[in-house]
Structure 1
């Protein structure tokens, strides 16, 4: 076999067509008929009939568990389907007088019946020692000490020669950040391993199977047999305990001198944070119950890591939030926004952990901290203006995308750019300096394979893991999600402050007048030049649908035309709504927000077929505004929260509000799809929809309408979200908006 590491990410490791030989596998369909079995089954059950495929599992059950009821396997499956197979696994049985574990899982239309020995090679009783080990593991609150304790306790429990805590970076490569080992082994602490060592699809399986054992790298796998009109490779072994190991990974372990490995997944918010990776230099088997007990260590460590990381993130977020709140107050208090952002105890720099910042506003350039010089800034701004489309851009490797930045990489290898106005050359830019660091790789990551005498690309031998150092330059410390969110929040506050002072300082009357004239023309064109022919298209489609002689294919095509016309009509209506907002006069009155929201929740729950109880309304104080427009704001944001969280396991939407001396701030929180951090700056733009919304209905106009209404009320709207973690939309109503 030609082994090429560039193929690792495409290797179908979930359907290997074979299993590890220390146990055997039988797959049955829903009726109990045997559809697959491992070739080595007769090594364990020599009295089996010559041909098992097509027979019912009941015919061989007496050979599996002599003391079990005749249909005990089907009973276990029935119970597991109702209560979950984690309640049945493992089932203790015997094979010819030897204790075995039966582990059941689903694979498409089949059930996997896996039989493993019920006794580990290790003499330690993992289940008895696990409680004390976890207690010792959590004894220290320091994160590094927690990891060190965990590695040591796992090694005490399972007795492997080397136990490492291995953390994944954003690009998929990993680093050994803690280690416990035999004294005669060299240390791998601090070594980095390229992403190809544990490719993407392997990392995905680690999220589903929280433990993975490879008993003996020199053991020949056992093929899976099936009927002639099917292939064993098509049996999905994602949930299998015995799943065979990729030949690439087997060779990789052999090159390391490792005979057996065991891993425990570490998750952070359902994503793979790292592994507790265990290596042994002789074969080693750990039975299923012991593996499950060891898995508990990983789950508890994952929870501890998540708690400590969230605690740290919360402290950072509170620091940024306090800075942005203070800057917001200063901008509204001072006549000069530049002075408010740059001349007080709290400045632009405090909104991030940058070492320098630049504010370019109304022809003035103000520098804070460490920044490039004026000439260098001029070139950088020119490049940003010509190449950066998004209003928020950030990178940790500026010289990589803008080569002239090599001249000032010591102060600006990392930049975050917030564009106020590209036409007026108005920007806020934050800088992070170069962070020179030496990465110790376990072998040269750029040369992971060698060419043998036959021209085959093969994994290199043991010396490919010798330490190889690389110095990384022209790169800054990463911009954290908390920093990005802080800048997005500051952007909202700055836009609000600029809008408040716009009448006196922006001189945009002529431009606004021209924009309104163009908007009127645009609205007229949509109303007359688009809506009328669209109505005709829909009418003709409906007339044609009455023809009973149409073929099904023609009927489907006409139905699609009809649906498309409806969708386009809705989009035109929303764009018209958007254009009317700017020209409509506001009719201010006090609004009973609680009653308004309750009415909308009842109506939206009916529309989206969810129980009204999924929406919790907490504090909902009255607000002042135009009732029709404010109703449109809440209806749009609440309907988004409901429909984008509808697929959540326990759907939850919470509406709450807080007050200060000048604002009432409503927060609408859901536990739905969430928004990728890179899309947050653009969510209020016209026709902007996220990549992850799938077939959820929407035109991409609703949030643009909401933003326009809120700003017309001299209010603010912003969002805080993470992909897969739900979203919170904040709407700040100015208490003096009608003055």
Structure 2
């Protein structure tokens, strides 16, 4: 039997037909008609059945009789120069009736779409929108913002039902706000499975911010083409008239909806949800009115982003303050457990968890609502056998560990940061089970059916009666703000642990031994490799001077020389790394302002970064080895420049802040950023992240910086977001 997952592969961008309230003409780069909709003659009287192969100017007497002879060609030229959003829509006359001409791209073709310039809506949408926007944004509360928006949009477009529909991480949706006619039952709070709006449809909603289905009962019009051009289906991704999937049409019919209109809501480029509008009679909205409605979606998207970022920033600030306090506690006391558990701020304050446990030096120390000691020991055993990540989190621990069912009311969600896998030392946070009663619009798991006529009934929710499901064993999800907070806390804890000179720890001894072995190995190998490498380079360069060698052979030799040079640079960086390990810092008072300014000037020249904007803030003095500290800032600034140069307006900011304990410098950029899951590994030797493979580098620089900071009993950490940029922090003791 066919099931709902078939929707995920339906090619909805190439339906081969359009909605019949308008018509379509497709021309190539020579302005010759290669496709057109079958309903052309229904809108244009006096035309032959097909215009395929004709020049677009051949239909000028019928379309836009008061326009210049080649006005459509002029519009295309203008759109190519300035963007078609500047020319759309063009109002023209077709046999005494006003039509809008909307032009867009489809591969090497131009789509010319014509649709009536008069809406069924009695209101002037463009005028009504201005009055409604201020009322939409009147309340700062996010839920009130959504409620206001639904009410105002209903006033503007006058549909029977207007819903704000939000997508969950798994693709299913929920009606989170609603405005409706009094005679309609409420759908507020109903959930709809992801298959109702499959993945490829969600992608199109990101491209086309409005979507009109004027009448589900009209027959779509086929797109005609010659056999030569018809072999490749016409991509209607950018089309306004693109026909609707039969699956979705049947879905709307099952809901007894005759017309629908949607406005996309985006959050940082991703589809947050939809303003979904239903009418129980056919309803056509003209292009200008749809564009005005799109403005509502864009303003609401911006407001959503601002409100959510505001809430996230508030939480980030609170977590950061908690980590800063814990860091100071650890610095002042010799006891890690006392610093993390015994003050007014504890490890509970770096997340929204209700309980936590510190597993450290063979002790289990709980705080808040935590499982029993025996249960924690079981969790640690499970972690030792199943977790390899430095940061691990789940909101459904029972699905991974059946034993967790016994304490799911306390720990359905867990987050773990590993202090030492070898010593089984962890910090673990717990979130309790949050029973959820999800009310679906019908049973989402029921398969599709065929009716007595053999027609596919796409939606199993014929009456859309509520179908309740209780979800157990899950907690509230862990937010990105919580994950970043735990990563930073781990950095602080590991720094504090490494400074406990009075305690001999197995991990530190093994790290020390590994460092010494690496130093000896890398120094010996690097030194011994230099002589044969010089020989390879010298002989290759000599051979390149031989005129009897073919150009292809010279090219191979040039590649050998280039590869040898890259290897020489890597050897030098490895030697730098080992020298840092052997050298003792010569501490002096350093005025960093002049050092940073000189580095910036040199690096801008080296990277040819004329467009780079660098802001240098406060530069308080620090104590350290001048040569090593210069290497720290040189590496960090070099990375910031290198990974932000591809940004439209590359920007870097360097700033120092000091308190009674330490001086902290931050180096921020707006470059490529780092995946949050990769942050714990960026200071490892030879670590290169996937998104920077094409940029030259060895993966040694940050390892050198980390080693220098350890020599200075300082700290280094980073905060980053993909495609947004990175901030590296270095903290020096006073």
Q: Same fold (TM over 0.5)?
A: yes
> Shift of residue 438 of structure 1?
0.8
Cα deviations across residues 180-234 of structure 1 (Å, max 9, x unaligned)? 1122222211111111211222222222221111112222222333342333754
Residue 189 of structure 1 corresponds to 188
Distance 1:558 1:12 in 2: 51
Cα deviations across residues 341-370 of structure 1 (Å, max 9, x unaligned)? 111111111111111111122222211011
Distance 1:602 1:62 in 2: 65
Kindly indicate whether residue 302 of structure 2 is the aligned counterpart of residue 274 of structure 1. Answer: no
Residue 430 of structure 1 corresponds to 429
8 Å contact kept, 1:257–1:462: no
Residue 728 of structure 1 corresponds to 727
8 Å contact kept, 2:41–2:47: yes
8 Å contact kept, 1:684–1:704: yes
**Most deviating of 41-50 and 363-372:** 41-50
Distance 2:31 2:586 in 1: 70
> Shift of residue 132 of structure 1?
1.3
**Most deviating of 42-51 and 62-71:** 42-51
Cα distance change, pair 459–618 in 1 and its aligned pair in 2 (3 A): same
Match runs of 1:160-309 below 5 Å? 160-231=159-230, 234-309=233-308
> Shift of residue 565 of structure 1?
5.5
Residue 328 of structure 1 corresponds to 327
Cα distance change, pair 280–697 in 1 and its aligned pair in 2 (3 A): farther
Cα distance change, pair 703–14 in 1 and its aligned pair in 2 (3 A): farther
Match runs of 1:524-543 below 5 Å? 524=523, 526-527=525-526
Residue 351 of structure 2 corresponds to 352
Residue 391 of structure 1 corresponds to 390
**Most deviating of 177-186 and 640-649:** 640-649
8 Å contact kept, 2:27–2:35: yes
Distance 1:11 1:270 in 2: 24
Match runs of 1:697-712 below 5 Å? 697-712=696-711
Cα deviations across residues 252-275 of structure 1 (Å, max 9, x unaligned)? 222222221111111222221111
**Most deviating of 387-396 and 713-722:** 713-722
Match runs of 1:215-614 below 5 Å? 215-231=214-230, 234-450=233-449, 459-463=458-462, 465-502=464-501, 504=503, 506=505, 511=510, 514-524=513-523, 526-527=525-526, 570-614=569-613
Distance 1:61 1:540 in 2: 73
Distance 2:696 2:292 in 1: 45
Kindly indicate whether residue 29 of structure 2 is the aligned counterpart of residue 27 of structure 1. Answer: no
* SS across alignment from 1:307: helix
8 Å contact kept, 2:163–2:177: yes
Kindly indicate whether residue 146 of structure 2 is the aligned counterpart of residue 147 of structure 1. Answer: yes
Cα deviations across residues 234-255 of structure 1 (Å, max 9, x unaligned)? 4332222112222222222222
> Shift of residue 179 of structure 1?
0.8
Distance 2:249 2:534 in 1: 65
Distance 1:271 1:587 in 2: 51
Cα distance change, pair 198–605 in 1 and its aligned pair in 2 (3 A): farther
Distance 1:725 1:275 in 2: 25
Residue 624 of structure 1 corresponds to 623
Cα distance change, pair 69–348 in 1 and its aligned pair in 2 (3 A): same
Kindly indicate whether residue 658 of structure 2 is the aligned counterpart of residue 656 of structure 1. Answer: no
* SS across alignment from 1:380: helix
8 Å contact kept, 2:443–2:461: no
- The runs of 5 or more residues in structure 2 that have no matched partner are none
8 Å contact kept, 2:3–2:448: yes
8 Å contact kept, 2:443–2:460: no
8 Å contact kept, 1:4–1:457: no
Cα distance change, pair 576–220 in 1 and its aligned pair in 2 (3 A): farther
8 Å contact kept, 1:225–1:232: no
**Most deviating of 19-28 and 374-383:** 19-28
Residue 665 of structure 2 corresponds to 666
Distance 1:716 1:213 in 2: 56
Distance 1:596 1:645 in 2: 22
Cα deviations across residues 155-191 of structure 1 (Å, max 9, x unaligned)? 1111111110001111111100111112222221111
Cα deviations across residues 600-625 of structure 1 (Å, max 9, x unaligned)? 33343344443254333233333332
8 Å contact kept, 1:251–1:459: yes
Cα deviations across residues 68-107 of structure 1 (Å, max 9, x unaligned)? 1223223223333333322221111111111111112223
* SS across alignment from 2:399: helix
> Shift of residue 481 of structure 1?
1.1
Kindly indicate whether residue 137 of structure 2 is the aligned counterpart of residue 138 of structure 1. Answer: yes
* SS across alignment from 1:382: helix
> Shift of residue 442 of structure 1?
1.6
* SS across alignment from 1:615: strand
Cα deviations across residues 406-459 of structure 1 (Å, max 9, x unaligned)? 111111111111111111221111111111111111222223423679999752
Residue 103 of structure 1 corresponds to 102
Cα deviations across residues 282-314 of structure 1 (Å, max 9, x unaligned)? 221101111111112112212222222122112
**Most deviating of 112-121 and 227-236:** 227-236
> Shift of residue 585 of structure 1?
2.3
8 Å contact kept, 2:591–2:621: yes
* SS across alignment from 1:229: helix
**Most deviating of 701-710 and 348-357:** 701-710
Cα distance change, pair 472–510 in 1 and its aligned pair in 2 (3 A): closer
Distance 2:468 2:346 in 1: 39
8 Å contact kept, 1:645–1:672: yes
Residue 63 of structure 1 corresponds to 62
**Most deviating of 130-139 and 453-462:** 453-462
* SS across alignment from 1:465: coil
* SS across alignment from 2:219: coil
* SS across alignment from 2:582: coil
Distance 2:235 2:540 in 1: 46
Distance 1:465 1:540 in 2: 80
8 Å contact kept, 1:17–1:233: no
* SS across alignment from 1:15: coil
> Shift of residue 690 of structure 1?
3.4
What's the Cα RMSD here? 2.9
Distance 1:399 1:555 in 2: 64
Cα distance change, pair 217–639 in 1 and its aligned pair in 2 (3 A): farther
8 Å contact kept, 2:628–2:708: yes
Distance 2:11 2:619 in 1: 53
